[in-house]
Structure 1
Amino acid sequence: MSINFTLSDEQRKLQHEVRAFAENVLAPIVPDADREPDPVRAVQRTKPAYVEAYKAGIAMCMLPRQYGGGGVSCVDLVIAAEEICVVDPGFACTVLCNGLGLMPVSWYGSEEQKERFLRPATSDPSGEFLGGWTASEPAGSPSGTANFDIPLPRPAGVGLIARRDGDQYVLNGRKYWPSAAGWDEQGVNLQTAIVRTDPEKGGTEGLSAIVIERGTPGITYKYIDKEGHRLTSNAEVVFDDARVPAENLLPGAQGNGDFVINRNFAWSGPVAAIAAVGVARAAFEKALAFAKGNTAGALKPIINFQNVGYVLGDVAAQIEMGRYFSWRAADYLDKHDQHAELVGAMNKIQVTEMMFDCVYKCMQIVGVNSLDALHGFGKLLREASVFPIYDGGNMGMQRRRVHGFLADPQFNPRAIMEDEYIPLEKHHEAIDTVVP
């Protein structure tokens, strides 16, 4: 018996269909949208492509089939995601972060909530429905989110407070970097937000997840003008006595919002990793074509020089490594009820950093000409720089998660090799969060 890396006929079909969408529908609009200086209008320029992605079943493909979603596996999702990310990973965030915003409902929501929230997400006749994930908070002292599981009392840790008032929660505080902020600075249709439902507690205690609907009074959005991933809508979100129905609190996440954060970023780990693979693949294909057509003043194209061939060979191999690690992490998610808190973090860290190096190596092959906007390497470098620092930053949250597992006296160093399930528990959190 062998380990099979060959895509099935269905996976090939999915890959080719999404590639056709990316090349024929998305690619023509990306250059002008990326150059648009206004961040709101930049995102709005991608709306027609999003509507086509929605109507083609791509935008909600990750949601469970019983609620109208595509029900694709995590492996199938990363196969499809790579094709979009080759063209524009920012737009891919708009599409794929529907999963970050709505998968927690499928994991931790009641049956009534799944029907109430997921069914509209998968049956919008306009094709404009957006889901969002709202966990991070603005930098400050104290503020930010990387140390969300710090074992200290308030005000350390997550600061968005949700106080119970009858049949509602009253939300006050700020969030930063939600996965999407809507088409018009008025918010997405549904966002899952991490809130502190016990204001007297800090660290991982008293955290919960609640679904917030578009149009909720007391919430304002201001788009962030970003260097990379310009075609997805991130924002500062201010909550000022915003009232959210208590029935929107996800019961499976009440008091365990920290587990939602860790599980969500584990689910998105191979998605971020394969996005980095897509960007590196685009850079490699550009650099290879350049090397085969440019002599740099010699008599033959530079692909015939050893240093060029060696560097591009290394890049090609690293892209393959990154792709297969992403498939492996996605496969682990599929086998373990979409839990991969250790493997997902390892995958995200290693692949996103390796792919950033690949993009820069490709620029070195092209040389100073890579600075010419005509070749598109500037955009690729901007996009590649995002992956190690977003989606649970590698240096902030992801490496700490890995460290927490490894420091456990009961950790089995062969567990991943043997495909064992490695559950995240409270004692794995908070490591490295308190300065001695």
Structure 2
Amino acid sequence: MRLSAEEKSIVEAVRDFVDREVRPVARELEHADAYPGELIDRMKEMGVYGLAIPEPYGEVGVSTPCYALVTEELARGWMSLAGAMGGHTVVAKLILAYGTREQKEAYLPRLATGELRATMALTEPGGGSDLQAIRTVAAREGGEYVIDGAKTWISNARRSGLIALLCKTDPAAVPRHKGISILLVEKVPGVSVTSDLPKLGYKGVESCEVVFDGARVPRSALLGEREGEGFAQMMRGLEIGRIQVAARATGVARAAFEDSLAYAQQRESFGKPIWKHQSVGNHLADMATRLTAARRLLLHAAERCDSGERSDLEAGMAKLFCSETAMEIALMAIRVHGGYGYSTEFDIERYFRDAPLMIVGEGTNEIQRNVIVRQLVERGGLDYS
């Protein structure tokens, strides 16, 4: 993988931002479950929200590997910061790929600066991973859609001004996915954020329930020009979403490993640094090996995404492996730190609480395995070239 000189400088700038401004305050903000407004503003100033948006709508659109590495750096500092721009990027990519010229001109420049924040609304209270079974309906009425339904686990819902809503424009369609569309919904009357969901980790950034009660949007809110294409559009959009989640997981794993390696050299037991005890050294060796494998799989998926070919297999593999690796490394980090790993005075317990989100978010890992095997069969196995 090769980054351009400009992309390398972007990753280095974000790394410096994380070390100087994020890590010193992340623990306090996370424990207070406080929204990181100042850090989000700095991310906007640095152009982080526009990294996936090329000219003429954005100032600098970077490659997917560069985007993945920026996400990893943010998650290394505090996973919530990376989560704050995850759905935003998926929505931007959806508009870039499928939006009309008017939609691109209306939204992309403001999404690139972070002036307008975006999120996607897929999951429903009774639905979970079965997106074809969604019940939110957008009925045509004159020149408008009238939306009724509810969505849950919507990240950044209160602070996003644009929602990419997966809904049914033809509830009677067979097969079901043919009746699903994406609407670009602003905070119009009838759209309400009803509650913030309490969470084990992923603090500071809200995850909410959103209700649509007779919300009216113009027909021009339909992503693209034809109804019934929303399911396929979202599946392609989730390829970058799953790469982003894999990058977040890798960042958490990297933070857990780096903290453990440093601690094992400082902490002494029985007259020597604890890394020299074979049981601790073995943990560190396993952590480093798994982290290296996860990062390579992440970058492989990112490169495939830029190839113009389908990357759902590669993105699914990266999301699956990186998230499971983050959980394993976070647990090993607790073992290395002993009692201090369980203490809220150290960051290790935060990594352990943040890691499970990547296992169940953006499609559970059980769903990822279904995606992977389906693509293996369709492609005739793995490509070893």
Alignment TM-score, normalising by the size of structure 1: 0.84
1:80 aligns with 2:70: yes
Distance 1:7 1:120, change over 3 A: closer
Q: Aligned partners of 1:28, 1:285: CA distance in 2, in Å?
A: 16
Instruction: Work out the number of aligned pairs and report it.
Output: 383
Q: Is the contact made by 2:27 and 2:347 (CA closer than 8 Å) also made in structure 1?
A: no
Partner of 1:175: 151
- 8 Å contact from structure 2 (residues 30, 204) kept in 1: yes
Give yes or no for contact 2:137–2:171 (8 Å, CA) kept in 1. Answer: yes
Partner of 2:214: 241
Q: Which digits, 9 at most, give the CA deviation of each residue in 1:240-272, with x for residues without a partner?
A: 101111101012562122212211221122221
* Map of 1:398 onto structure 2: 368
How do 1:255-266 residues align onto structure 2 when only pairs under 5 Å count?
Answer: 255-266=228-239
The residue that corresponds to 1:14 in the other structure is: 10
Which structure's residues are more often helix, by fraction? Answer: 2
Q: Distance in 2 between matches of 1:16 and 1:236?
A: 36
SS at match of 2:217: strand
How far off is 1:232 after superposition?
A: 2.0
What secondary structure, in the 3-state scheme, does the structure 2 residue paired with 1:81 have?
Answer: helix
Partner SS for 2:257: helix
**Residue pairs, 1:133-282, within 5 angstroms:** 133-138=120-125, 143-149=126-132, 157-183=133-159, 188-201=160-173, 203-214=176-187, 216-221=188-193, 222-251=195-224, 254-282=227-255
Structure 2 SS opposite 1:67:
coil
How far apart are 1:6 and its partner, in Å?
A: 5.7
Q: Does 1:287 align with 2:260?
A: yes
Q: Measure, in 1, the Cα distance between the counterparts of 2:37 and 2:101.
A: 31
CA distance in 2 between counterparts of 1:73 and 1:99 reads 13
Distance 1:288 1:210, change over 3 A: same
Q: Which residue of 2 aligns with 1:306?
A: 278
In structure 2, list runs of 5 or more residues that go unmatched: none
2:80 corresponds to 1:109: no
Asked if 1:67 corresponds to 2:57, the answer is: yes
RMSD of aligned alpha carbons: 1.8
Asked whether the equivalents of residues 81 and 271 of structure 1 are also in contact (C-alpha less than 8 Å), the reply is yes
Cα distance in 1 for partners of 2:226, 2:105 equals 18
Cα 1:383–1:287 shift into 2, 3 Å: same
State yes or no: 1:129 paired with 2:116.
yes
SS of equivalent residue, structure 2 residue 360: coil
Distance in 2 (alpha carbons) for counterparts of 1:332 and 1:407: 18
Separation in 1, partners of 2:183, 2:70: 29
Q: Identity over aligned residues, as a percent?
A: 27
Q: CA deviation at 1:331?
A: 0.3
The structure 1 segments of at least 4 consecutive aligned residues displaced by more than 4 Å after TM superposition are: 5-8
Query: What SS class does the counterpart of residue 48 from structure 2 fall into?
Result: coil
TM-score for both structures, normalised by structure 2: 0.94
Q: Note the residue ranges of structure 1 that are not aligned, 5 or more in a row.
A: 150-156, 419-436
1:88-107 superposed matches below 5 A: 88-107=78-97
Q: Take 2:49 and 2:24, find their aligned partners in 1: how far apart are those partners?
A: 19
SS at match of 1:18: helix
Give CA deviations for 1:4-60 in whole Å, capped at 9, x if unaligned. Answer: x465433331221011122223334322221225xxxx22xx112111111211122
